[in-house]
Structure 1
Amino acid sequence: MSVEEPTAEQRLVRVGARDVAVTERGAGEAVVLLHGGGPGASGMSNYAHNVDALAQRFRVVVPDLPGYGRSSKIVDRSDPFGDLAAAVRGLLDALGIEQAHLVGNSYGGAAALRLALDRPDRVRRLVLMGPGGIGTTRHAPTPGLRRLLAYYAGEGPTRTKLERFIRDDLVYDGGAVPAEMIEARYQASIDPDVVANPPLRRPAGLRTLLRMDLLRDKRLTRAATPTLVLWGAEDRVNRPSGGRQLAERMPRCDLYLVARTGHWVQWERPDLFNTLTTAFLSQDKR
C-alpha cells in the first residue's frame, strides 16, 4: 500500500511491516503526542498549538498513527487499540526510547492507555484528553461518534459531512475552526488508500467491541502510571462522564474538567493545556 512522501520536517520510520511518519522537535525527556481518529487527522494538525510550547522542555515526538497522514494504511481491525499500542511501542524501539511520556487525544488516548496497561515499564506518565474506549459498550454512541463512524459509509466522504462533524461535534465554538483546516482534512480524508481502508469504522463483532471498552480492563485498578485526564465539559464525541469513571478506577489519576470546551482540549484551550501538561510531566515520578 502506498505511502506519501514525508514533508521536509517529517521522516519515515520503519516499524514492523509499516512505515510511520514522525516529526521531532526539542530535547529532554521524550513526550509522544498521539492524535485522534477523525477523518483527515494527523499528528501535527492535531497538535499545531502545542508542539513548540512542549519542545521548550521535552523531546517531542509526533507520529501520524497507522492509517493516517503519511503513515502506512494498515490497522488490525480485530484489536485496533492493541495494534496501535504495539505500533507506538515499536516506534519507541526504533527511536531508541526506553521510556516516554504519552499524550493522547481520543483514538490516540485509547492507544496510549492501552500501551500503559500492556507495557507500564515503557510509559512514565500519561495525559489523556477525551480518550476513546471508555464505556463504549455501556451506552448508545453519542451523535458525534455516530457521525465519525459513518463518515465513509453511505454516500462516502463529503466536505459537508466533515465540516459538520468538526464544527458541530469536535469543538465548542465551531466558528473558531478555519476553513483552511477543514479543507486540508477533507483532502486528506479522500486519499484513495484511506477510502479503500478507512482507519476508524464501526467495530465488527462483539469481541472487537469488548476489546475496545477499556473500562472493562481489570488492570485499570492496578495501573501505577501517574495519569492526568483533561476532558472538555462540552465534549459531544466521548462523554465527559468518562473522566470520572477513569479517576474512580485508576489509583494515580487526576481529573481536570475544562469548561466551554469540546473534544479538542489541546486545540481549543492550548495555553491551559500546555501549562498543565508541562507541569504534570515535569514532576518527579513517585
Structure 2
Amino acid sequence: MPVVVVDGQPLHYLDQGSGPVVLLGSSYLWDRTMWAPQITALSQKYRVIVPELWGHGESGPLPAPTQSLDDLARQTLALLDQLDIAQVNLVGLSVGGMWGARLALQAPERVNSLVLMDTYLGAEPEATRAYYFSLFKMIEDVGAIPEPLLDVIAPIFFRPGIDRESALYQSFRQSLTTYPKDRLLHSIVPLGRLIFGRDDLLEQLPRLNAETCLVMCGEQDTPRPPAESREMAELIGCDLTLIADAGHISSLENPDIVNETLLTFLANHT
C-alpha cells in the first residue's frame, strides 16, 4: 500500500481505479477490507481512495497532535493535498462519517458529494459513552482485548441475527485478537475515547448541501440506529436510505444493495 507522512506518522491508504475520486472512510476497529465489495464495484468507474485509520491496518500510531475528530478531518485533507486531489466524493461509515462531515464543513470546496453511512453526528448518548469507556478501561488494564470481551464487542457491528459461525463474524472476531499491546494502549483506546467523547455537530448539519448529501443506515444497526440517521437526514434536508438485512457494517452485510445505492447516487452527483 502507498503511504504518506501526516503529523509525523505513516498513513497508509489504498488507491485503485481511475476517474472522479471516491474517498471511503472506515469504521473503528476495521481496516480497508470492510470496503472490499465497494472497492471492486466503484473502481470500475472511479478512483477509490481508502485511508487506514491510525493504529489500524498498516497505518502508524495515533499522532500526538490528534485531539479530536476535527484533527482526523484535517489529517485526511493533508493526505488529499499530498496526492494533489482537489475534490472528492466522500463516503464515510461510522467514524468515517463523523470526520467526513467535519471535513465537508471545514473545506466544503473539497467535497463534491457526501454519503453518511451508519454514523451519528450528535454527541454519544451518556449511557453508551460510559459503557464504551468502561470497555476501554478493561482493555487498558489487561493490555489486550480479553476473551470474554470478544463476543461483547464483535456483535455490536452486525445485525442481531447474524450467524456467529459465519466467516464474516469469525474473521472480524479473530482480528480483534491481533492488536499488539502498544497499539491498543497508544492508538486504539485513545482513538476510541476521542470518537465516543466527541462533541455535538447536529446544529451545524443544515450548513451541508442537501442536494449533494445522502444518509444511509442498516435497518438493524444497533449502535447507530435508524432513528439517528432519520434525525440527521431531516436536519440536512436530504434523502435517507435504509439497508435491509444489515447492521452497522452494512457495506459487508448487504453489499449488493449498498453498491447499487452508491453507484446510483454517484452517477447523479459526479
Q: What is the match of residue 184 of structure 2?
A: 194
Q: Are residues 241 and 151 of structure 1, via their aligned partners in 2, closer, same or farther at CA, if it must alter by over 3 Å?
A: farther
Q: Give, in whole Å, the separation in 2 of the partners of 1:269 and 1:144.
A: 28
- Give 1 or 2: higher helix fraction: 2
Structure 2 unaligned blocks of 5 or more: none
Q: What is the match of residue 102 of structure 1?
A: 90
Partner secondary structure for residue 177 of structure 2: helix
Deviation for aligned residue 1:33: 0.8
- Counterpart contact for 2:88–2:112, Cα < 8 Å: yes
Q: What is the match of residue 99 of structure 2?
A: 111
- Counterpart contact for 1:230–1:265, Cα < 8 Å: no
Deviation for aligned residue 1:149: 4.7
One of 213, 223, 232 as aligned partner of 2:218: 232
- Counterpart contact for 1:102–1:126, Cα < 8 Å: yes
| Alignment coverage as a number of residue pairs | 263
Q: Give, in whole Å, the separation in 2 of the partners of 1:148 and 1:128.
A: 26
CA deviations over 1:97-117 (Å, ceiling 9, x no partner): 000011111111101111011
Q: What is the match of residue 232 of structure 2?
A: 246
Deviation for aligned residue 1:148: 6.3
Deviation for aligned residue 1:76: 6.1
- Counterpart contact for 2:68–2:194, Cα < 8 Å: no
Is 1:273 aligned to 2:264, yes or no? no
- Counterpart contact for 1:142–1:238, Cα < 8 Å: no
Q: What is the match of residue 153 of structure 2?
A: 165
- Counterpart contact for 1:135–1:213, Cα < 8 Å: yes
Is 1:140 aligned to 2:140, yes or no? no
Q: What is the match of residue 130 of structure 1?
A: 118
Deviation for aligned residue 1:244: 1.1
Aligned AA (1:49): P
Alignment of 1:28-67 (within 5 A): 28-38=19-29, 41-42=30-31, 44-67=32-55
- Counterpart contact for 1:147–1:165, Cα < 8 Å: no
Q: Are residues 274 and 222 of structure 1, via their aligned partners in 2, closer, same or farther at CA, if it must alter by over 3 Å?
A: same
Q: Are residues 127 and 174 of structure 1, via their aligned partners in 2, closer, same or farther at CA, if it must alter by over 3 Å?
A: farther
- Counterpart contact for 2:222–2:248, Cα < 8 Å: yes
Q: Give, in whole Å, the separation in 1 of the partners of 2:44 and 2:58.
A: 26
With 56-65 and 77-86 compared, the bigger mean Cα shift is at 77-86
Tell me the TM-score normalized by structure 1.
0.82
Q: Are residues 70 and 56 of structure 1, via their aligned partners in 2, closer, same or farther at CA, if it must alter by over 3 Å?
A: same
CA deviations over 1:246-283 (Å, ceiling 9, x no partner): 111113x2101223321011110100001110110121
- Counterpart contact for 2:156–2:222, Cα < 8 Å: yes
Aligned AA (1:193): R
Deviation for aligned residue 1:147: 7.4
Structure 1 unaligned blocks of 5 or more: 1-9
Q: Give, in whole Å, the separation in 1 of the partners of 2:52 and 2:182.
A: 17
Deviation for aligned residue 1:133: 3.4
Deviation for aligned residue 1:190: 2.8
Cα RMSD after superposing both structures: 2.6
- Counterpart contact for 1:99–1:121, Cα < 8 Å: yes
Q: Are residues 238 and 90 of structure 1, via their aligned partners in 2, closer, same or farther at CA, if it must alter by over 3 Å?
A: same
